Amino acid sequence: MEHKPLVLVVDDEPGILDIAQMYLTREGFRVAFARDGQAALDAVAQETPALVILDLMLPQIDGWQVCRQLRRASNIPIIMLTARDEDVDKIVGLELGADDYITKPFNPRELTARVKAVLRRAAASANTTAPPLVRVGSLSLDRVSHRAQVHAQPLELTPREFDLMWTLANNVGKVFEREQLLEQAWGYDFPGGTRTVDMHIAQLRRKLAAAHADDVTITTLQRVGYRLDIQT
């Protein structure tokens, strides 16, 4: 019997749970539910889902805290679900380690597409044949441990930031359009969502600057995309 991936949906709105179950089940997933933050943590510990869809506004423990605690223990894929259409909420969620976000109200087909894309990216990351270690100037990236360093000091990157940095670092000097980065770094195969690339590039620049990686520059090419350059 074919094993169906388990998706844990964490939300306290019955309508959201019903819609998610209907569409995810149609696409071949098993679905489990949790209606508050503590129940979500318990469910992950007991059932080990393939992916978590996590609402931010939850009783007992909010989604940010749940995401933080999950990231301390595992790299389980997380899609943040939020009723707010504010970049700051998305950035905070991504900084805590979420792999993606979707804003309520959402198109159920988009939700299932994002679930599939995040799972594909997670599988590709686990099975990659690329060299496990890349060094670009003062920056080094270890694909196996998902760890980054600058000047031999730890550089804290979220899973999404790491994958984006990995793609750029393996192609120094190559210009990527935003859509190409969505596909190659994160495995997206549907249009839209390019603003998240800009948000992550901004976060990477901030972290590289804070770590004094002065020889590593992410260059913007207006109306085109981004390129990683090394200053000699």
- Mean pLDDT, residues 119-145: 78
Alpha-carbon gap, residue 75 to 17, rounded angstroms: 24
Q: What is the set of domains in the chain, with CATH numbers?
A: 6-127 (3.40.50.2300), 133-230 (1.10.10.10)
Q: Taking 80 as the threshold, does the pLDDT of residue 171 lie above it?
A: yes
pLDDT at 15: 93
pLDDT band at 122 (very low <50, low <70, confident <90, very high): confident
Alpha-carbon gap, residue 26 to 11, rounded angstroms: 20
Q: Taking 70 as the threshold, does the pLDDT of residue 188 lie above it?
A: no
pLDDT at 71: 84
Q: What is the overall mean pLDDT for the chain?
A: 86
DSSP state string for 1-58: -PPPPEEEEE-S-HHHHHHHHHHHHHTT-EEEEESSHHHHHHHHHHH--SEEEEESS-
Q: Taking 50 as the threshold, does the pLDDT of residue 1 lie above it?
A: no
Three-class secondary structure of residue 137 per DSSP: coil
**pLDDT over 90 for what percent of the chain?**
52
More confident residue, 190 or 141: 141
Tokens found for residue 229: 């350059």
43 Cα distance to chain centroid? 21
More confident residue, 126 or 208: 208
- How far is CA 119 from each of CA 78, 174, 215, 222, 227, rounded to the nearest angstrom? 10, 27, 34, 31, 26
191 Cα distance to chain centroid? 17
Q: Taking 70 as the threshold, does the pLDDT of residue 42 lie above it?
A: yes
Q: What is the pLDDT of residues 83-101, one digit of tens each?
A: 766 666 666 777 777 888 8
Q: What is the pLDDT of residues 16-33, one digit of tens each?
A: 999 999 999 999 999 999
- How far is CA 54 from each of CA 49, 57, 108, 168, rounded to the nearest angstrom? 12, 9, 15, 29
pLDDT at 191: 42
